[in-house]
Chains A and B, each alone.
Chain A
Amino acid sequence: MKKAVCIFLILIALSGCKDKAPQTSQTDLKNNADEPSYGDALIEGTIGEPSILIPMLASDSASHNVSGLIFNGLVKYDTDLSVIGDLAESWNISKDGLVITFHLRKGVKWADGVEFTAEDVMFGYKTIIDEKTPTAYKEDFLQVKKAEVPDKYTFRVTYEKPFAPALTTWGSLIILPKHLLEGVDITKTDFARNPIGLGPYKLSKWIPDQELILESYKDYFEGRPYIDRYIYKRIPDPATMFLVLRTGEIDMMGLTPLQYTKQTENDYFRKNFNKYRYPAFQYTHMAFNLKHPFFKDKRVRQAIAYAIDKSELVDVVLFGLGSPATGPYVPNTWPYNPNVKKYEYSIEKARQLLKEAGWEDTDKDGLLDKDGRPFIFTVFTNTGNKLRENTATIIQWRLAKIGIKMEIRKLEWSTFINQFIDKKRFEAVILGWSISLDPDQYDIWHSSKTREKELNFISYSNPEVDELLEKGRRTFDINERKKAYFRIQEILAEEVPYIFLYVPDATLIVSARVRGIKPSPIGVSYNLPKWYVPKKLQRHNIEPEP
């Protein structure tokens, strides 16, 4: 009996040795001079599970990542952030900026063979503005006064007023197959988990909570994607995902700052993987409820800004993989204003401002107080985000040093949004925004957007900012827009309705066998259909059926 157990254990130990990913020589793996070839599968690890694959209905990034490969839009962004055509070959904007006429590509087919026409765009538009459609993206389309389909390949929209972001709203959110969804209740259709699109990939198999397999659409209008299959493997925690990356079971994942800096700096990783790092289009901030008696006073907000060391946040939370933020834009993009008021860490300045605002430690208990009230407040943030949690912890510690007690409360996302943010029942929050590629941020800063469930949840109101926001979205002249947005950033930096904390870097790691990845300001996934694996390095080919 004992012998059998020993042999058993040895067998197991031995079989373990076969699991490591094959170590191809360094030259082979990294030689970029190969010819593109079809085949192989790219396996990406993901923490979130997509929920709905109809773009306009989903609000989570996992769903959008997948549906982004299945659906295309009329336009998309080029690497220099300019707008280029996708399903639209070209377009004209009328002189007064009110009418956009899109000329669509001909011969683009949905995955079921039916041709894509302007009717599909019209159908998508009608669906998104329909009040029965539960979508978060209606707003931009409500600006449209009239939509027309003069002929099969032309789509024309007329706006009430010139709307600069208009062009870019006609992205992949809006195109739906009319012939499949007309007359169907979009919230109940099976299409949400079994879509037919016209993008580079189509859904092949979906095992809920485990994996989602996409296979390439051979008749994709830009040309058949080189990589035959794109697989999302769901692994709910980053540590496990990393282990799985190492054994070669997945090829690609977003690394945590620690993984990027400490765990992938060794021979094995250098040989077999490539890492990519670029500023992500998002920022993390601390927002104040401007109706709260403590935070009504600008000096208090500025004091807190002085009491926070942003570089410490970047170093500790992001391990240096990011940069401090000074406004709601990504550094080095055209709307970003580098010359706004900055709040370098200074306890003295913080204390001074607080004193001016009436906050002093009169009872010597270590906490500032005013009119008998100690400076205690609660900051909310969402669960499941370690970076935000750590950010809150560091801020809590820093504020304690100037006599402010900040309590941290973590809430589950939908409760957070629906019970607290939407109802404005909060004192301060630590949240983030993703930064859209178009600089218009009307919905976040305009004083009219303060109704329940709208995005100006802090009740910010500044007439000059309101005017500038209007100006920014009503002109197509990029220099005029830049002026407006620069001035807005100056005002926001002075008034501190948010403390802009940091812009993290996206940190991606991909198996070195994948070629064609070209890092750019908008990331790396923009040319996914052009990625390929050289024939002799391909790993995951399905055997052809006999």
Chain B
Amino acid sequence: MLTYLIKRFFEMIPTLLGITLISFFIIHLAPGKPTDVFSELNPKITPEARERLEKYYGLDKPVIVQYGLWLKRIVRFDFGESFSTDRRPVMQKIWDKKQPITERKLFITFMLNLLEMVIIFLIAIPIGISSATHQNSLYDRITTVSVFIGFAIPSFWLALLLMMLFGVYLDWLPVSGLKSMNYDSLPLAGKLLDRVRHLILPVFVASFGGLAGLSRYMRSSMLDVIRQDYVTVARAKGLPENKVIYRHAFRNALLPLITLLGLSVPGLIGGSVIFENIFGIPGMGQLFYNGVMARDYPLIMGILTIGAILTLLGNLLADIGYMLADPRIRAR
């Protein structure tokens, strides 16, 4: 098992390299030299200062060397300084060491995505299982239709509709931010409830698409498994039906789901841009969106790279989870 892990780890390296290559390429898409864009922000920059910048970014050297320099800096998570007028280092904007951990943007986005994955997992599985066991019943048909709609519905539209319904018309739920203004003065239970209320809409809407997909997959995976011989054997042995389902069928149907969950990570991370924007959540997605709108190139590249790294980690975790769940691999 350890060897498998190590192997997987090493396989990540070329992928990481590839990511840095791609991001390097993107930077050079902007018309003009990259430093044109870097230096133009400050109207008072002198020609000497501009030259210094060009030397710093190695623009006077061949492309290979430039890439090497870029790589060296990325490894240290040095993405340069943000272009916005506060000029703080990009990494600090994502992961500010001066802030408590729970307020750092990367953390917020990470936790939200984690929460979404948990919700997807918890809800999609029972739906998938019950659809499979009650195949072609009314319940199954309804969930099938819902899933189709779930695939087709634009998530940001769903967000808007629910915001209108629960936030504006019914006024049941807050529609923005992670906590209320008076959060600090609330008792612990109040604080908890406040957090939950602020999270309900964003997490639900963000999980919706993944829910549809995963429950569908669970269903078909379950259906495949139920037809297998060993299930028939279990039934023949006289085991009660729910033991058959849960002990035997379910566990095996679960395996591909872990992989699928891992595959949904980039989608979730990418989706944070939309949801944090709509719901005013101060996470990395919102930072990215603001950076894009302001053409804050260092910030954009920094978050792009971090996002890719997070995805890699997510895949790795999914693989580990798969490994733990599948005894065939564990034995190796």
Contact = CB atoms under 8 A, between A and B. Distances in A.
A43 B181 CA distance: 10
Contacts of A247: 174, 181
Nearest to B280: A240
Interface in A415-443: 415, 417-419, 422
Contacts of B168: 243
Contact of A12 (B180, B200, B287): B200
Nearest to A453: B43
A209 B282 contact: yes
Interface string B16-49: 0000000000000000100011001111110000
A236 B290 contact: yes
Contacts of A250: 181
B1 to A, nearest CB: 36
Interface residues of B, number: 42
Contacts of A193: 86
Contact of B167 (A237, A243, A383, A419): A243
Contact of B40 (A210, A244, A418): A418
Contact of B43 (A208, A383, A417): A417
Contact of A415 (B40, B45, B85, B282): B40
A150 to B, nearest CB: 32
A475 interface: no
Interface string A235-256: 1110010011001111000000
Contact of A134 (B42, B174, B180): B42
Given A52-B85, A383-B293, A414 B41 contact: yes
B3 interface: no
Contacts of A237: 280
A60 B41 CA distance: 13
B144 interface: no
Interface in B137-191: 167-168, 171-177, 180-181
B295 interface: yes
Given A412-B294, A418-B41, A208 B86 contact: yes
Interface string A52-68: 10000011100100000
Contact of B280 (A15, A135, A235): A235
Interface in B177-233: 177, 180-181, 193, 196-197, 200
Contact of B86 (A52, A59, A249, A412): A52
B85 A240 contact: no
A16 B180 contact: no
Nearest to A52: B85
Contacts of B45: 134
B197 A15 contact: yes
A13 B265 CA distance: 32
B173 A207 contact: no
Contact of A208 (B96, B197, B280): B96
Interface residues on A, range: 35 or more
Contact of A51 (B43, B85, B171, B175): B85
B99 A12 contact: no
A387 B197 CA distance: 34
SS class of chain B's interface: helix, strand, loop or mixed? loop
A485 B287 CA distance: 46
B84 interface: yes
Nearest to A14: B172
B83 interface: yes
A12 B83 contact: no
A401 B41 CA distance: 38
B326 interface: no
A60 B32 CA distance: 26
Interface in B79-108: 83-88, 93, 96, 99, 103
A384 interface: yes
Given A243-B176, A249-B181, A136 B85 contact: no
A90 B46 CA distance: 39
Contacts of A240: 175-176, 280
Contact of A16 (B36, B99, B197): B197
B280 A412 contact: no
A11 interface: yes
Nearest to B93: A208
Nearest to B105: A209
Give the one of A11, A52, A412 with max B CB within 10 A.
Answer: A412
Contacts of B181: 43, 244, 247-250
Contacts of A415: 37, 40, 295
A412 B293 contact: yes
Given A51-B84, A236-B280, A19 B41 contact: no
Interface in B249-301: 280, 282, 286-287, 290, 293-295
Contact of B180 (A60, A249, A453): A249
Contacts of A414: 40-41, 83, 295
Nearest to A62: B85
Given A16-B171, A243-B167, A58 B176 contact: no
Interface in A454-503: none
A378 B331 CA distance: 68
Contacts of A244: 176-177, 181
Nearest to B294: A412
A236 B294 CA distance: 13
A189 B43 CA distance: 20
Contacts of B294: 412-413
Interface string A186-208: 00000001000000000000011
Given A51-B86, A414-B41, A13 B172 contact: yes
Contacts of A413: 294
B295 A15 contact: no
B169 to A, nearest CB: 12
Contacts of B37: 415
B254 to A, nearest CB: 21
A208 B37 CA distance: 24
A218 B270 CA distance: 48
B201 to A, nearest CB: 11
Interface string A218-243: 00000000000000000111001001
A375 B32 CA distance: 29
A207 B171 contact: no
A155 B121 CA distance: 72
Most central of B40, B96, B168, B293 by chain A CB within 10 Å:
B40
Interface string A354-389: 000000000000000000000000000001100000
Contacts of B177: 244
B193 A11 contact: yes
Nearest to A16: B172
A52 B87 CA distance: 10
Given A15-B197, A60-B85, A210-B282, A136 B175 contact: no
Nearest to A412: B295
Contacts of B43: 134, 136, 417-418, 422, 453
Contacts of A249: 180-181
27 contacts: A12-B172, A16-B197, A19-B180, A43-B181, A51-B85, A51-B86, A52-B86, A63-B85, A134-B43, A136-B43, A193-B86, A207-B99, A207-B103, A208-B86, A208-B88, A208-B96, A235-B176, A236-B290, A240-B175, A243-B167, A244-B181, A249-B181, A414-B83, A418-B40, A419-B32, A419-B36, A419-B40
Given A134-B43, A208-B96, A235-B280, 11 more contacts: A12-B172, A12-B196, A16-B172, A208-B86, A249-B180, A383-B293, A412-B294, A414-B41, A414-B83, A419-B40, A422-B43
Interface of A: 11-13, 15-16, 19, 43, 49, 51-52, 58-60, 63, 134-136, 193, 207-210, 235-237, 240, 243-244, 247-250, 383-384, 412-415, 417-419, 422, 453
Interface pairs A-B: 4 shortest CB-CB:
A51-B85, A418-B40, A249-B181, A134-B44
